[in-house]
């Protein structure tokens, strides 16, 4: 009888141990993980990859003078993306990735934008007071941007019973600062079907 | 008194005593009352402490959604919108995932009461998650995120209403539509602001006046007219001006001024009450309990807002009490159908118990079997409770005031029924800007 009780107690402990706790597994960041069906890292990555490809394949680089003698790489400032969808989408996630990929392509130069420039300017200002005159950054030496990149995210949701369809459209455009002409427009559409 | 009526009387009283004991045993509405009392006294910090101190519903079980909603709202009222945000976002996600029928949940509820089911919230409560979230984002100056929440309200109500076989009263929310307009306007998006104000007016015209006794507010008409004028849409202006000849012409914003939009949340939503129906035979007692809104109407107060020598009467934008009442009426058919199924299941259990006891004792219509059947019936009646759970820290009503103030820092005084009730100190108004504030008052 006592052996039976002991066995039952051990079994109960094993069950309790198996029930509790949390499992955390590191996984490849390229892995697609759709849990709730809402906008996630996979969507952000798709947008960044597609937009960089579309942008660097556009004619605007040629029109800017790529391949001509004395060509200077265009300076792009990455601006804001307006979220018009019905989900909280951190647009910074894919815009940072786009900024990094454009810079690494070596075809464009990136100017500080999206809230970074005040910090840079504050540092320059501080240097005038605290850094030695030889090393202090000079005022009026910023390189003006040739183009501003901005865009929007829109979504349409349709739902019936236990099925939801969500359509996202991410649009980006590059605008010539001097002429205000749009020199490139790119978009990516993502459609998801979520079933319960 | 003969034996049969005495037995009936005992059964009936026993069921009522047991039901009262079970209902009083830690009911959610009773435990949350001190929290509501703190809110009534204008002390959300104390309300939050009371909630944490034991008044909270279970945070992990079938009342998880309720816990998130109440705590999120209390944190917001206590001036901690950033802490409220993750709780309310989880509430929204959880509510979104609560779909279909949970068979084990339903089976348990069939033998006890609807209160044993997972709390899913009424339609208006699901919408209020987004409103409260929008208010949190506005307080953190994240107007774009607040707009996301307003958009979700439209989508949510469309989905909820598409799922009902008969028409629902609460199809759209005029106040959230109006709020959306104000947020678009604050962001400088006048086209979308006009669309939102027009949608708001349409919902006031079509639904709110008919169902909740709330006529289209003149201020919403004025907002539509004002935006038409700003966007030089003369034909549209003429159309609305002819539809509402009594509406005030839109005010001209004085140079060097900005707008203050004040959303005044007042009162507390009433607790639901139980309506029960009891019938009995000589050896059985049958009881149905359904939730209802109290008959006594909550008085509508009026609010005046004064600042920098200007005074404005706030307009009633949302009457949550009436919306909750209609919501419950819409739901009554579904509640009754479940209550009838529960009644039948409990009656079946009593009969089966009596037959089982007959088999065990080998005595037909014996004292033991009849007594056992009666006992099961008594338990069935005693466990029958109306589901009175609801988001009880929500306000009863929302009033709105919009003032054009000189740019600068101001103190804003709010009066309820002529009596000073709140003062907002140091409200910054930017030239050409729109400052939005949410305040709670009894």
How many residues are recorded in chain B? Answer: 442
pLDDT at site A1: 44
In the block, tokens 């929310």 appear at: B173
Cα(B342)–Cα(B107) distance, integer angstroms: 10
DSSP at B259? E
Q: Tell me the CATH number at A135.
A: 3.40.50.10610
By the 8 A CB rule, do A169 and A140 touch? no
B162 → closest Cβ in A36, A160, A196: A160
| Tokens 């202090």 found at | A136
DSSP symbols for B264-301: EEES-PPPPEEEEEEEE-SS-EEEEEEEE--SSPPPPP
pLDDT band (50, 70, 90) for residue B4: low
State the pLDDT at residue B203: 95
What predicted TM-score, i.e. pTM, was given to this entire model? Answer: 0.83
**B215, B280: one domain:** no
Q: What is the per-residue pLDDT for A8? A: 52
Sign of CA dihedral A86, A87, A92, A98: negative
**Domain ends where: B216, B237, B252?**
B252
pLDDT at A58 over 80: yes
B177 CA to centre of own chain: 17
Q: Summarize the confidence of residues A40-68 as an average pLDDT.
A: 91
Q: What are the chain B neighbours of A196 within 8 Å (beta carbons)?
A: 97, 99-100
Does some domain include residue A120? yes
CA distance B200 to B181: 8
- Checking if the pLDDT of A116 tops 80, the result is no
How big is the A-B interface in CB pairs under 8 Å? 29
Q: Which of A69-73, B37-41, B145-149, B153-157 has the lowest mean pLDDT?
A: A69-73
Same domain for B431 and B304, yes or no, is yes
Which region among A154-168, B192-206, B224-238 has the lowest average model confidence (pLDDT)?
A154-168
The answer to whether residues B324 and B245 belong to one domain is no
For B88-103, how does the pLDDT look when each residue is reduced to its tens digit (9 = 90+)?
A: 999 999 998 887 777 7
Instruction: Quote the tokens at residue A115.
Output: 């809230």
Q: Please check the confidence at residue A156 and state whether its pLDDT lies above 70.
A: yes
pLDDT at residue A16 in the model: 46
The count of structural domains within chain A is 1
Tell me which chain B residue has its CA closest to the CA of residue A81.
B144
ipTM of the complex: 0.72
Backbone angles phi, psi at A189, to 5 degrees: -115, 135
> Does residue A191 lie within any of the structural domains?
yes
Residue range of the domain that includes B181: 172-252
In a domain, residue A177? The reply is yes
Check whether residue B115 and residue B178 sit in a common domain: no
pLDDT of residue A131: 94
Looking at residues B336-356, what average pLDDT do you find?
Answer: 82
Q: How far is it, in rounded angstroms, from Cα B434 to Cα B13?
A: 62
Q: What is the mean pLDDT of chain A?
A: 85
Where is B16: in which H helix or E strand? helix B3-24
Q: Which residues does chain B have within 8 Å of residue A87's beta carbon, measured at their own beta carbons?
A: 148
pLDDT of A13: 43
| Lowest-pLDDT choice from B81-85, B104-108, B126-130, B179-183 | B104-108
Inter-chain CB proximity B145 and A88 less than 8 Å? yes
Three-state DSSP class for B74? helix
The verdict on B344 and B412 lying in the same domain is yes
Q: What is the dihedral of CA B78, B84, B87, B91, to 10 degrees?
A: 90
Which residue of A82, A88, A162 is in closest CB contact with B99? Answer: A162
**Residues B154, B93, B83, CA angle at the centre, nearest 5°?**
100
CA within 13 Å, CB half, B100: 8
Q: Is the per-residue pLDDT at B127 higher than 80? A: yes
**pLDDT-wise least confident of B206-210, B229-233, B278-282, B392-396:** B278-282
User: Do B435 and B287 belong to one domain?
Assistant: yes
pLDDT confidence of residue A114: 67
Sign of dihedral through CA atoms B159, B165, B170, B171? positive
Check CB contact under 8 Å for A82 and B99: no
Taking CB atoms and an 8 Å cutoff, what residues of chain A touch B144?
Answer: 82-83
**Cα(B74)–Cα(A10) distance, rounded to whole angstroms?**
44
For residues B122 and A80, what is the distance between their CA atoms, to the nearest angstrom?
38
Total domains, chain B: 2
Q: Does the beta-carbon distance from A161 to B152 stay under 8 Å? A: no
Nearest to B114 by CA among B373, B391, B394, B334: B334
Q: Which domain holds residue A127?
A: 36-195
Q: What is the DSSP string of B43-67?
A: -HHHHHHHIIIIISPPSSSTTHHHH
Sheet strands side by side (includes A163-176) = A109-111, A75-83, A147-160, A163-176, A182-195
**Per-residue model confidence as pLDDT tens digits over B253-274:** 788 899 999 999 999 999 998 8
pLDDT for B218 equals: 93
Whether A21 is covered by a domain: the verdict is no
The pLDDT of residue A18 is above 80: no
Confidence (pLDDT) at A98: 92
pLDDT for residue B373: 80
CA distance A30 to A45: 8
The pLDDT score that the predictor gives to residue B1 is 45
What's the confidence (pLDDT) of residue B12?
A: 55
Contact A78, A99 (CB under 8 A): yes
Interface with B, mutate which of A36, A40, A88 (most B CBs under 10 A): A88
């Amino acid at each position: 009888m006592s052996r039976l009780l002991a066995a039952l107690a051990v079994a109960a402990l094993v069950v309790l141990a198996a029930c509790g706790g949390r499992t955390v597994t590191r996984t490849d960041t390229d892995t697609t993980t759709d849990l709730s069906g809402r906008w996630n890292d996979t969507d952000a990555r798709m947008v960044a990859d597609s937009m960089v490809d579309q942008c660097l394949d556009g004619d605007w680089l040629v029109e800017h003078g790529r391949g001509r003698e004395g060509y200077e790489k265009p300076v792009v400032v990455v601006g804001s993306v307006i979220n018009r969808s019905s989900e909280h989408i951190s647009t910074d996630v894919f815009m940072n990735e786009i900024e990094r990929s454009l810079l690494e392509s070596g075809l464009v130069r990136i100017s500080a934008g999206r809230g970074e420039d005040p910090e840079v300017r504050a540092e320059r200002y501080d240097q005038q007071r605290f850094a030695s005159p030889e090393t202090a950054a000079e005022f009026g030496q910023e390189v003006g941007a040739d183009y501003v990149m901005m865009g929007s995210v829109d979504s349409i949701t349709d739902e019936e019973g236990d099925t939801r369809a969500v359509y996202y459209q991410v649009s980006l455009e590059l605008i010539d600062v001097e002429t205000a002409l749009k020199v490139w427009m790119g978009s990516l559409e993502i459609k998801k079907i979520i079933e319960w | 008194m003969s034996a049969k009526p005495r037995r009936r009387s005992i059964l009936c009283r026993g069921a009522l005593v047991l039901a009262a004991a079970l209902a009083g045993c830690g009911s959610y509405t009773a435990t949350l009352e001190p929290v509501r009392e703190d809110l009534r006294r204008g002390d959300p910090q104390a309300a939050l402490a009371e909630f944490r101190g034991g008044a909270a519903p279970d945070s992990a079980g079938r009342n998880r959604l309720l816990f998130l909603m109440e705590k999120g709202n209390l944190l917001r009222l206590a001036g901690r919108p950033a802490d409220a945000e993750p709780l309310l976002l989880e509430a929204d996600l959880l509510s979104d995932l609560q779909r279909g029928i949970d068979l084990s949940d339903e089976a348990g509820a069939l033998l006890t009461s609807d209160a044993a089911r997972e709390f899913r919230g009424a339609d208006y409560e699901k919408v209020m998650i987004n409103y409260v979230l929008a208010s949190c984002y506005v307080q953190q100056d994240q107007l774009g995120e607040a707009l996301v929440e307003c958009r979700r309200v439209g989508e949510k109500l469309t989905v909820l209403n598409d799922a009902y076989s008969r028409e629902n009263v609460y199809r759209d929310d005029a106040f959230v539509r109006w709020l959306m307009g104000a947020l678009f306007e604050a962001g400088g998006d006048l086209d979308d602001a006009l669309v939102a104000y027009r949608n708001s007016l349409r919902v006031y015209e079509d639904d709110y006046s008919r169902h909740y006794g709330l006529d289209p507010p003149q201020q919403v008409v004025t907002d539509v007219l004002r935006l038409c004028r700003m966007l030089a849409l003369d034909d549209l202006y003429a159309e609305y001006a002819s539809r509402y000849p009594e509406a005030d012409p839109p005010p001209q914003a004085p140079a060097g001024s900005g707008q203050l939009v004040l959303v005044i949340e007042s009162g507390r939503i009433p607790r639901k009450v139980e309506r029960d129906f009891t019938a009995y035979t000589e050896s059985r007692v049958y009881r149905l309990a359904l939730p209802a809104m109290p008959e006594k109407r909550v008085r509508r107060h009026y609010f005046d807002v004064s600042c920098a020598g200007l005074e404005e009467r706030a307009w009633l934008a949302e009457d949550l009490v009436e919306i909750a009442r209609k919501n419950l009426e819409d739901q009554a058919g579904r509640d009754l159908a479940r209550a009838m199924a529960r009644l039948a299941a409990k009656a079946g259990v009593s009969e089966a118990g009596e037959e089982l006891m007959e088999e065990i004792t080998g005595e037909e219509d014996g004292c033991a079997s009849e007594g056992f059947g009666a006992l099961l019936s008594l338990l069935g009646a005693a466990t029958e409770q109306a589901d009175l759970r609801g988001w009880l820290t929500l306000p009863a009503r929302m009033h709105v005031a919009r003032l054009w103030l000189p740019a600068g820092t101001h103190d804003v005084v709010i009066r309820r029924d002529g009596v000073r009730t709140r003062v907002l100190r140091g409200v910054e108004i930017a030239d050409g800007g729109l400052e939005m504030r949410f305040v709670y008052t009894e």
